[in-house]
Amino acid sequence: MRIAVLMSGGDAPAMNAVLRAITRYALGHRAEVIGIHDGFYGLLAGLTSPLTHVDVRGLEERGGAWLGSAREPRMLSHIFQKRAARRLRDMDVSSLIVIGGNGSQRGSYALERLGARVIGVASTIDNDLAEFDTTLGVDTAITAATRAIDDLKTTATSHRRVFIVEVMGRHSGYLATRAALASGADLALVPEAPIEAWDVLATVRRAFLAGERHAIIVAAEGFPTPSSEVLFRLRRNGIDARLSVLGHLQRGAQPTAADRLLAARMAVEAVEAALAGDHGFVLGPSRGDIVRVSFAAATSPCVKVTADDVRIIRALA
C-alpha cells in the first residue's frame, strides 16, 4: 500500500502535526508514505520523496507547511486535473491524502471524479468547509489573534484610542467573531452581519461614555467596507483611531494543543480509511467525532457565523 500526502492552499497551523501522525501511523501499518512537495504544483511537476519515521520528527510543534504548500490555479483546468490524476497512477499510489481547505478539497474532488482515490483532511484557518464544527488551524489562529488584540488593548488604553483590528478568514467572519468574543472586543464587523456606519460610531462613543479608555473593533477581511474606510470615517468624526492588520501572523503561529490533538485524530482516521480502501470524502470534526463528508457537501457554501454571535459580542463588551 502506498499513501501519498500533499499540503495545499494557505498553510494552517498543525498541518505538520497531521503529516507526522499520518506518516508514523501508516509506516506502523507497513504502508509506504510518499510526500508530495508544494501541493498540486508539486504533483504536476513530480516533486515527491518517500517519508521516513525520522523525517517527520518534531513536526507536531512546528507551524507552516513542512512539505511546502501552493495555490495551483491550473487545477481548475480539466487538462491539468487529468494530468495530475495520471501522475498519481504513474506513482502507483493507492490513496492520496490532501491536507487543505475549501479550494484544495475542490481539487481533491476533481481528482476523485477522474478515478483517483482521495481523502481530504479539513485544514484551514477560515473554517469554511461545510458540516464541520471547525477545521485544523482555527484554534491556533483564534488564539494568535486574541493574544495580539490583548496586546493592542494595552496601548489603546494608554492613549484612549480606538483600534480596528483586521483579521483573516477570506469570505468568512468566523475568525473575527471568535477573536472578538475571546478578547472582549466592542464590535465585530463581519460579512454575515452587515452593520451601518453610524452604528460603528455609536458603539465607539458608547464605550467611551461608559468610562472605557479604549474601544476595539475586530474587522473580518471579508467585510464589505474596507477597514481603511472604517478608520477614515471614525477619524472624520474626531475619533483617535488606528488600524492594525494582523494578516499572516495568524497563520504562522505554533499550533495549540487543541489543534495538535485534532491533527492526531484526523491523521489516524485518514490512514485507517486509506488502509480500508475508503475514499471520496473530507475528514473533520463534528459534535465530538471525526466524520466523513463527501467532497461535494464539504465544499458547498456554508455560513458559520450568525447575527446572534455579533449581538453577544456587543452585549458582553
Active site residues: 126
Tell whether residue 107 is a contact of ligand F6P (CB under 6 A): no
Tell whether residue 251 is a contact of ligand F6P (CB under 6 A): yes
In angstroms, give the least distance from the CB of 114 to ligand F6P. Answer: 25
Contacting residues for 314 by C-beta, under 8 A, at least 6 apart = 186, 187, 203
In angstroms, give the least distance from the CB of 276 to ligand F6P. Answer: 30
- Choosing from 6, 10, 23, 60, the residue that interacts with ligand F6P (CB under 6 A) is 10
Tell whether residue 72 is a contact of ligand F6P (CB under 6 A): no
- Pairing of the two strands 118-122 and 48-50: unpaired
| Residues 154-213 within binding reach of ligand F6P (CB under 6 A) | 168-170
- How many residues bind ligand F6P (CB under 6 A)? The answer is 11
- Choosing from 101, 120, 280, 284, the residue that interacts with ligand F6P (CB under 6 A) is 101
Nearest alpha-carbon partner for 29 in 263, 261, 268, 265: 268
Tell whether residue 64 is a contact of ligand F6P (CB under 6 A): no
| Cα(131)–Cα(109) distance, integer angstroms | 16
| Cα(45)–Cα(264) distance, integer angstroms | 29
In angstroms, give the least distance from the CB of 124 to ligand F6P. Answer: 5
Other C-beta atoms closer than 10 Å to the C-beta of 6 total 30
In angstroms, give the least distance from the CB of 249 to ligand F6P. Answer: 11
12 vs 56, which CB is nearer to ligand F6P?
12
Stretch that binds ligand F6P, among 36-44, 120-128, 179-187, 277-285 (CB under 6 A): 120-128
10 vs 64, which CB is nearer to ligand F6P?
10
Cell of 267: 491523521
Nearest alpha-carbon partner for 60 in 304, 256, 216: 256
- Choosing from 69, 104, 105, 124, the residue that interacts with ligand F6P (CB under 6 A) is 124
- Pairing of the two strands 281-286 and 289-294: antiparallel
186 vs 221, which CB is nearer to ligand F6P?
221
168 vs 310, which CB is nearer to ligand F6P?
168
Q: Is 212:241 a contact under the CB 8 Å cutoff?
A: no
Stretch that binds ligand F6P, among 122-130, 146-154, 253-261, 270-278 (CB under 6 A): 122-130
Nearest alpha-carbon partner for 239 in 157, 163, 185, 165: 163
In angstroms, give the least distance from the CB of 262 to ligand F6P. Answer: 17
Alpha helices in 240-284 (DSSP H): 257-276
Tell whether residue 125 is a contact of ligand F6P (CB under 6 A): yes
| Cα(234)–Cα(237) distance, integer angstroms | 5
- What DSSP character marks residue 74? G
Q: Is 77:48 a contact under the CB 8 Å cutoff?
A: no
In angstroms, give the least distance from the CB of 15 to ligand F6P. Answer: 12
Question: Which residues of the shown chain bind ligand F6P in the complex (CB under 6 A)?
Answer: 9-10, 101, 124-126, 168-170, 221, 251
